[in-house]
Amino acid sequence: MNTQLYQTIVIEKSHRTLRRELPEIAQEYSVAGLTPIERMTRRFEWLCKEQEPMFLGDEKICFLRTTKNIPDVFTKEEWEEIRSKHYIHESGYPSNLTVDYGKILKNGLLALKDESDTYGCRSIDAILGLVERYRQAALAESRTVLAEGHAALADGRSALAHVLEQVPAYGARSFREALQCVRIINFALWLEGDYHNTLGRVDQYLYPFLKQDMEAGILTKEDALELVEEFFLSLNRDSDLYPGVQQGDNGQSLMLGGKTKDGSCGFNLLSELCLKASQELKLIDPKINIRVDKDTPDEIYTMCSELTKVGLGFPQYSNDDVVLPGLIEMGYAPEDAVEYTVAACWEFIIPGVGRDVANIAALSVPKVIDTCLHRDLPGCQCLEDFYKAVADEIRTGLDAICDNIKDLWFVPAPFLNLLMDTPKYQNFGIHNVGLSTAADSLTAIMEHVFDTKDVTAERLIAGVDSDFAKDPELLHMLRFETPKLGTNSDKADENLVWLLDTIADALEGKKNCLGGCYRAGTGSAMYYLWSAEEIGASPDGRRKGEPFAANYSISLFTRTDGPFSVLRSMTKPSLSRTINGGPLTLEFHDTIFKTPEAVAQVGQYVKQFVLMGGHQLQLNAVNADTLKQAQAHPEHYPQLIVRIWGWSAYFVELDRAYQDHVIARQEYSL
């Protein structure tokens, strides 16, 4: 590890003092009558010119943002007019995409000019102009430090200039050049405003360069690890400038392992080095994901569990045995599906050819149950009547979401467009929030109103509406004596199966405004806090103000027999039908990782999840006592990292609601 660079970027953060503020709207591109794509191109050209080449110590991989902000291309009034005519997703900028890094590494940016329009060519010229200024600055500094007697640093700057002479203008020739090229492209995408752009299958498109250098004797394994660590550090230089719901939600995710096009296992030496680098650096970026399947060797699961032990919330697992057939059934060509990676959090996307909007909307499933509870339950003669009411409301809610998304519009992104092929997939992903609350609520209604008949519909509704203030007996019965997901209860689990099948049925065959399909998912992202505020208490015994569980997880107050009962419950649905993504998320107490045997046991738990047909899994090593101490004394825990939903963050930088949710999650032992 480059300890000096780590100290500068992670501990001192002194590089942030090199930034300056830009005006909110710049005259360089904000001219009345200019088309949106002309504005975006001018802004990118201007921002490239505004960057000052800066080097941090003896770094081998450079590029640093020296401006604090990216001024908007439209005024507030212009945005209002755009929104009056179009459906705008989030900020209106492209996001949650992965470009074809392999193509860029092979050919370089100049090779793209022949197939690009004027705006793309200008974007290439702008970023290469900045690269050239970096190259010249490196040469100048090399001469200066050599005159001062610092020969090693002079050689380093000269070598850096040599790298920048090659990439990204031309194809990479070495592992170091490939890493520098990816860093510059990632930097440029953020500079254009294309947020949450992910890094894709880095161990597939970068490994040939590593293999070549090692076989030629240019790099040792230790040299390669140092380069990977420096590349990871480069991704943390500007991450505080990248937008998200909370600090850390910046989408810098990468994927390791997984099936290759010839059917072999893609896990290689670079995969191992990425796991090791993340384990040593202990940083929130990049977010590590890994693809596994029933044939994945045990030693890979153990390696991954060693990283989980660190407490970063990495890696997140995706099961090829479920995901690949699900994507193919959804209409993805097998040769494209096999290349899948994840978006900012966990949604499945295809590099290069995929323009899916994987998080375009969300359905609050507990709100569906709440509506049917109040409107339909008193008139239902049997359980089937209530199921029908819920199914109809799910269909109505999803129809309304789909009908609302018309004339989707994004800010033009000429540089991003250069790096993507003609889109083959423009599907929309729908999150389904609060699945465990909804399934447990259905189970409570089934159990008490229709099976045992020990609670009337009127009493249940009154209890929910009063937050159970006048009926503590009912609260206890619903909260602690009624079957719940995560306890391997067939009754509760069958309701989860039914809900997911009903949601998938409601979206099947629907086409979006771009001609793509709708993908149902099991994730919830930020909605698990927001949607819980839309309703009061719920029939499962959840009190008003209590949040839903994050993602595809059991309710926070459920008492289980341990993590294996959770696996049994949550792997019963046919998850290939709800393949937008959304992991089963579990917190393991950090004390279970004390011995190598215990770490291997965690790996075997993950393997069981895969063999049982789970689609995504997120394990976190936590200690609630430590978290509470950090909440009370944040100044003592600046580097404490936790997993939120599809990303990790420094705990003390989070809003209190997210801190409380992490603390409230159940800690498991094996």
d(CA 639, CA 632): 15
d(CA 360, CA 366): 19
Would you call 292 helix, strand, or coil by DSSP?
strand
Q: Extract long-range pairs of 44-47: CB within 8 Å, 24+ residues apart.
A: 44/123, 44/126, 44/127, 44/191, 44/192, 44/414, 44/415, 45/122, 45/123, 45/125, 45/126, 47/191
Beta bridge partners of 348: 342
Q: Using 50, 70 and 90 to split pLDDT, how confident is the model at 312?
A: confident
Residue type, 468: F
Beta bridge partners of 641: 650
- Average pLDDT, stretch 28-38? 79
How many separate domains does the chain show? 2
List, for residues 129-154, the tens digit of each pLDDT value: 999 999 999 999 999 989 988 999 99
Beta bridge partners of 588: 621, 668
Closest CA to 582 of 618, 537, 542: 618
More confident call, 666 vs 405: 405
Contact 40, 414 (CB under 8 A): yes
pLDDT, the chain, mean: 91
Closest CA to 174 of 234, 137, 217, 134: 217
Residue type, 44: F
Q: Check whether 668 has a pLDDT greater than 60.
A: no
Give the other-Cβ count within 10 Å of 464's Cβ: 25
- Are β-strands 287-292 and 253-257 bridged in parallel, bridged antiparallel, or unpaired? parallel
Token pair in block for residue 326: 């699900």
> Greatest CA span in the chain, whole angstroms?
91
The answer to whether residue 146 is domain-embedded is yes
- Average pLDDT, stretch 494-507? 97
Q: Check whether 230 has a pLDDT greater than 70.
A: yes
d(CA 409, CA 393): 29
Which of 171, 191, 211 marks a domain boundary?
191
Token pair in block for residue 524: 């919830």
Q: Using 50, 70 and 90 to split pLDDT, how confident is the model at 83?
A: very high
The answer to whether residue 380 is domain-embedded is yes
Token pair in block for residue 17: 């003092």
Would you call 547 helix, strand, or coil by DSSP?
coil
The answer to whether residue 615 is domain-embedded is no
The residues, ordered by sequence, that sit 6+ positions from 578 with a Cβ below 8 Å of its Cβ are 432, 500, 503, 504, 519, 520, 521, 522
The answer to whether residue 352 is domain-embedded is no
Closest CA to 233 of 190, 156, 179, 310: 179
Residue type, 563: P
- Average pLDDT, stretch 632-641? 72
List, for residues 350-407, the tens digit of each pLDDT value: 999 999 999 999 999 999 999 999 999 999 999 999 999 999 999 999 999 999 999 9
The answer to whether residue 121 is domain-embedded is yes
Q: Using 50, 70 and 90 to split pLDDT, how confident is the model at 588?
A: confident
d(CA 566, CA 226): 39
List, for residues 443-458, the tens digit of each pLDDT value: 999 999 999 999 999 9
* Phi, psi (degrees; rounded to nearest 5) at 650: -75, 120
Beta bridge partners of 342: 348
d(CA 246, CA 642): 13
Q: pTM for the complete prediction?
A: 0.92
Stretch (H or E) spanning 96: none
- Average pLDDT, stretch 556-568? 85
Q: Check whether 663 has a pLDDT greater than 80.
A: no
Q: Using 50, 70 and 90 to split pLDDT, how confident is the model at 321?
A: very high
Per-position DSSP letters for 176-227, written without gaps between them: HHHHHHHHHHHHHHHHHT--SB--B-HHHHSHHHHHHHHHTTS--HHHHHHH
Which of 582, 616, 650 marks a domain boundary?
582
- Average pLDDT, stretch 187-203? 95
Question: Is the preceding peptide bond at 315 cis, omega within 30 degrees of 0?
Answer: yes
Which of 136, 157, 191 marks a domain boundary?
191
Q: Using 50, 70 and 90 to split pLDDT, how confident is the model at 207?
A: very high
- Average pLDDT, stretch 74-99? 91
Per-position DSSP letters for 112-166, written without gaps between them: GGGG--HHHHHHHHHHHHHHHHHHHHHHHHHHHHHHTT-HHHHHHHHHHHHHHHH
Q: Check whether 655 has a pLDDT greater than 80.
A: no
Q: How many residues does the chain have?
A: 670
The answer to whether residue 159 is domain-embedded is yes
Q: Check whether 292 has a pLDDT greater than 90.
A: yes
The answer to whether residue 264 is domain-embedded is no
The answer to whether residue 640 is domain-embedded is no
d(CA 201, CA 332): 18
Beta bridge partners of 619: 586
Question: Is the preceding peptide bond at 71 cis, omega within 30 degrees of 0?
Answer: no
Q: Check whether 426 has a pLDDT greater than 90.
A: yes
- Are β-strands 348-349 and 616-622 bridged in parallel, bridged antiparallel, or unpaired? unpaired
What is the DSSP code (8-state) at residue 617?
E
Domain of residue 495 covers: 357-582
Which range, of 296-300, 480-484, 626-630, averages the lowest pLDDT?
626-630
